[in-house]
Amino acid sequence: MSQRNLSIKILAGLLVGSILGIIARLAAQGAPWLNWLVEYVTLPTGQIFLRLLFMLVIPLLFSALVIGICGLDVRRMGRMGARTLGYTVVVSLIAVLIGMTLVNWLRPGEGLPDSLRAFASASGTAITVPKPPETTGAAFIVGMFPDNPVKAAANGEMIGVILFALIFGVGLSYTQTPGALRLREAIEGLYDVSMTLINGILKLAPYGVAALLFTMTARLGVEVLGSLLSYVGVVLLALSLHMFVVYSLSVRFLGGMSPIAFFRDIRLAMLTAFATASSSATLPTALKVANDNLKLPPHVSRFVLTAGSAMNQNGTALFEGVTVLFLAQLFGVQLDFAQQFTVMLICVLGGIGTAGVPAGSLPVIAMILVMFGIPVEGLALILGVDRFLDMCRTTLNVTGDLAAAVYVARGEKEK
């Protein structure tokens, strides 16, 4: 099944589930048969779909991070690699800050009446794990480094899992023994298998989304769909600000190039990214644009764009931060400053391990929702509109890769 056909089916599942749920709510609110249908049919069906996604979070995230670090060839990347990595981290932080600031300011998830929000929060029972301990200062920094990565994964301490994967990837990149090379191939195989399974699970998404949306609208009514439209508007606004403000400033002041000329020259790559919703699939076009239109040195464009297609996911990090805070608002889960900072950090680090394929960010979002006790049923809302938003944030990701290449190329030229 093509990604386009799957997206249409998921959208159809959202519409069918929502319409039937609203009809059931209006026709039989509080009726015993409706409660039975929700408790024993639609809710369990949706929860099984979500659990299948959660099952693959750890293997996919770990393998993607390790492969991403090894792909950078840490031993040889030198100054050019350090500039690329530093640029990626800083710009990703700015992206997540823009998105989370807009969510806190515009509050798209607060359209529900308080009574419905409390009911929705109480109804979210799919998966629960202990919340991470609230620590500050030095204790928080120390807690980021796990003494037992397996225990960290079991307890939902995902920052520890991410840092372990990053450190493990660096160690594997430096180790060039036959056994280490075989281990790298095995981890690549784990990644391939995880992606195959996720693609298979996503084929069940239309039914899981329909079941979860029926449950939500039967309980909450049409108000939840209004909040969804507000969420989409906030995501698009944040992506636009980052695209046309942050990247324009980066290209002008860090890359020494006119932003108008930059966007004109890369429009083919932007259109390809929007159409495919995949940074990896857009890589050949991005390389052509960088060499033919932007006139960047081939060794710079090859390194920066290849690494960026796997690791420089500014749009994805922004989307993840906005989505987590939106669902927290929707279900009445209060996240303080320290918790939001943790979300931001996970989104930036998770962007390195987010697969450059359609829907690659969903496992990371699911992981963060579980980590902070946010009902995961809300993920069904996001799945319904994810394809369109994925196309938009992939366009931002590819544009960010090319902006990074312009910046790094200027540094190499000056040297």
Please give the full DSSP string across 124-187, using - where no structure is assigned. Answer: --S---PPPP---HHHHHHHTS-S-HHHHHHTT-HHHHHHHHHHHHHHHHH--SHHHHHHHHHH
Both tokens of 371, joined, read 């980590």
Separation CA 53–CA 165 (nearest Å): 20
φ, ψ at 171 (rounded to 5°)? -60, -40
Domain count, the chain: 1
Choose among 22, 69, 87, 41: nearest CA to 403: 87
Q: Which residue has the tokens 């002041």?
A: 253
Say how far residue 41 (Cα) sits from the centre of its chain: 29
Q: What is the CATH number of the domain that holds 170?
A: 1.10.3860
Angle at 58 between CA 126 and CA 196, to 5 degrees: 95
Q: Ramachandran region of residue 204, left (φ > 0), alpha (ψ -120 to 50) or beta?
A: alpha
Question: Quick check: 111 and 135 in contact, CB under 8 A?
Answer: no
Separation CA 214–CA 13 (nearest Å): 10
Separation CA 323–CA 100 (nearest Å): 9
φ, ψ at 99 (rounded to 5°)? -65, -45
Separation CA 189–CA 3 (nearest Å): 23
Angle at 62 between CA 306 and CA 384, to 5 degrees: 80
**pLDDT given at position 310:** 63
**pLDDT given at position 74:** 55
Which distant-in-sequence residues (6+ apart) come within 8 Å of 183 by Cβ? 172
User: Sign (positive/negative) of CA torsion 68, 272, 98, 107?
Assistant: negative
Count of alpha carbons within 13 Å of 78, Cβ hemisphere only? 7
User: The domain containing residue 366 runs over which residues?
Assistant: 3-414
Q: Ramachandran region of residue 129, left (φ > 0), alpha (ψ -120 to 50) or beta?
A: beta
Which distant-in-sequence residues (6+ apart) come within 8 Å of 176 by Cβ? none
> DSSP characters for 376-413?
GGGHHHHHHHHHHHHHHHHHHHHHHHHHHHHHHHHHHH
215-238: b (≥16 Cβ within 10 Å) or e: bbbbbbbeebbebbebbbebbeeb
Instruction: List the chain pLDDT tens, one digit each, 415 residues.
Output: 555 677 788 778 888 888 888 888 888 766 788 888 888 888 888 888 878 877 887 887 788 778 877 766 555 556 777 788 788 889 999 999 999 999 999 999 886 666 555 555 555 544 444 444 454 556 667 777 888 888 888 876 777 887 888 889 888 888 889 999 999 999 999 988 988 888 888 788 889 888 888 887 887 767 777 888 899 999 999 999 999 999 999 999 999 999 999 999 999 999 988 877 777 778 888 989 998 999 998 888 888 887 776 666 788 889 999 999 999 998 888 898 888 988 898 888 777 655 554 455 777 788 788 888 888 878 878 877 887 888 899 899 999 999 999 999 887 766 5
Question: Quick check: 108 and 326 in contact, CB under 8 A?
Answer: yes
Choose among 198, 230, 204, 252: nearest CA to 366: 198
**pLDDT given at position 364:** 77
